Amino acid sequence: MNTAHASATATIPASPRVCTRARPRPDARRWLRATALRLALAAVLVFCLLPIAFLASTSFKTRDEVLSGHFLPLAPTLANWSKVFEIAPLQWHLFNSLAVALISVAVTLAIAVPATYAVVKLRRGSALAGALLGSYVAPPVVALLPLFFMMRLAGLNNSLLGLGLVEGLMNVPAAFWLLRGFFKQVPVALDEAAWLDGVGWWRTLWRVNLPLLWPGLAATGLICLILTYNEFLLASVLNSRPDMRTITVAISLFQGERVVNFGQMAAASLVGIAPVYLLALAFQKHLIGGLGARR
């Protein structure tokens, strides 16, 4: 009896060991994922805002404190802010930069919108579009000397209109690349229906496509405006008159041959950043909506 019981017991296989470690619940995993995402966004935000915070801190430092390397000013002073507006009329330089940027955006969109429509919807000029995008790879200094002589022959040197025209033409490849994705989102069937009704290409562009592309146009225009506003090379060469300087050229003048006024340059930089920041903040819905809709 004992022998049979022992043999029966021996033939029964041992049950596998059950893991008793609790798995995280879906709610816990969702919370961990959301927390990790918030931490990553906070790290990116700190990375982006840290240079601006250091710039603001530098604007309240004396020259000795800047050279000491401290992040926060030990004895904050407003001397840099008062001297900045005495040395250079920053308000007029800001006006010049904004005027050039607005002229540039108007020129860029006037060329890029119909060009993109012709390439995407009418299937024309594909080779020209490739060459246009390829030209954006070349550094602007390559075309600096020819542009200078062309502008001088046209009588547009030292003028806001001439600089805005050049900047607008330089931003056409970037605008074309941005607008191409937006035009592809508009169904071709809408254009074909308009063509069957006898509507021409221009009226189809203005009445069918553009009303559906306002977020994309706003995003493209704002990006081109920021590109023009931050441009330095062409602005420093084509406009040499003091009253025609843009804000980027004016900020560079705070650096002398042997001495750099870091505090005054930081204050002038913050003044130059403010208009673009406020503009992007005011149109952030159009910017995010336009770039988020692009595929």
| Residue 42 predicted with pLDDT over 80 | yes
Burial 31-65 (b: 16+ CB within 10 A, else e): eeeeeeeeeeeeeeeeeeeeeeeebebbbbbbeeb
The per-residue pLDDT for 8 is 47
> pLDDT for 123-136, tens place per residue?
776 677 677 777 77
Mean pLDDT of 243-260: 81
Average pLDDT, whole number, for the chain?
Answer: 82
CA distance 263 to 228: 25
Q: What gap in Å lies between CA 271 and CA 84, rounded to an integer?
A: 10
- Written as one letter, the residue type at 190 is L
pLDDT at position 96: 93
Which pLDDT belongs to residue 216? 84
Q: Give the pLDDT confidence of 64-103 residue by residue, as tens digits.
A: 788 777 788 888 888 888 888 888 888 899 999 999 999 9
Residue 260 main-chain phi, psi, to 5 deg: -115, 120
pLDDT 10s digits, 206-229:
888 888 888 888 889 998 999 999
Task: Choose between 159 and 139: higher pLDDT.
Answer: 159
Q: Are 118 and 124 in contact (CB under 8 A)?
A: yes
Confidence of residue 41 (pLDDT cuts 50, 70, 90): very high
26, 37, 46 from 34: Cα distances, Å:
12, 5, 18
Give the pLDDT confidence score for residue 228 in this predicted structure: 93
Residue 1, pLDDT > 50, answer no
Domain ranges within the chain, ordered by starting residue: 86-293
The answer to whether residue 24 scores a pLDDT higher than 60 is no
Under the banding of pLDDT at 50, 70 and 90, the label for residue 21 is: low
pLDDT at position 106 over 90: yes
Closest to 281 measured CA to CA, from 231, 228, 222: 222
Angle, helix 214-229 to helix 262-282, in steps of 10 degrees: 170
Task: Answer whether CATH 1.10.8.60 is correct for domain 86-293.
Answer: no
pLDDT at site 256: 65
